[in-house]
Homo-oligomer: A and B are copies of this chain.
Amino acid sequence: MRSTAEARRVTVLNAAVSAFARTGFHATPVTAVAAAAGISEAYVFRLFSGKLGLFVAAAGACFERIATAIEAGAERATGGSPEEVLDAMGGAYAELIADRDLLLFQVQAQAVTDIPEIAEAVRAGYRRVATFVQDRAGASDAQVQQFFAYGQLCHLIVTAGLEQVPEPWARALTAGIRHP
Q: Is A7 part of the contact surface with B, judged by Cβ < 8 Å?
A: no
Q: Are B156 and A153 in contact (CB under 8 A)?
A: no
User: In the complex, how many angstroms separate the beta carbon of A179 from the nearest chain B beta carbon?
Assistant: 16
Alpha-carbon distance A167/B144, docked complex (angstroms): 14
Majority secondary structure of chain A interface residues (helix, strand, loop or mixed): helix
Assuming the A-B contacts A141-B171, A172-B145, are A123 and B165 also in contact, with contact meaning beta carbons closer than 8 angstroms in the complex?
yes
A77 to B134, CA, bound (A): 35
Choose from B119, B134, B145, B156 the contact partner of A152 (Cβ within 8 Å). Answer: B156
Within A130-160, the residues touching B (CB, 8 Å) are 130-131, 134, 141-142, 144-146, 148-150, 152-153, 155-156, 159-160
A25 to chain B: which residues have CB within 8 Å?
27
Q: How far is the CA of A23 from the CA of B112 in the complex (A)?
A: 7
The count of chain A contact residues (Cβ–Cβ below 8 Å) is 47
Q: With A and B bound together, what is the CA distance between A172 and B25 in angstroms?
A: 29
Q: Map CB proximity to B onto A110-139 as digits: 1 under 8 Å, 0 otherwise.
A: 111110000100110011001100100000
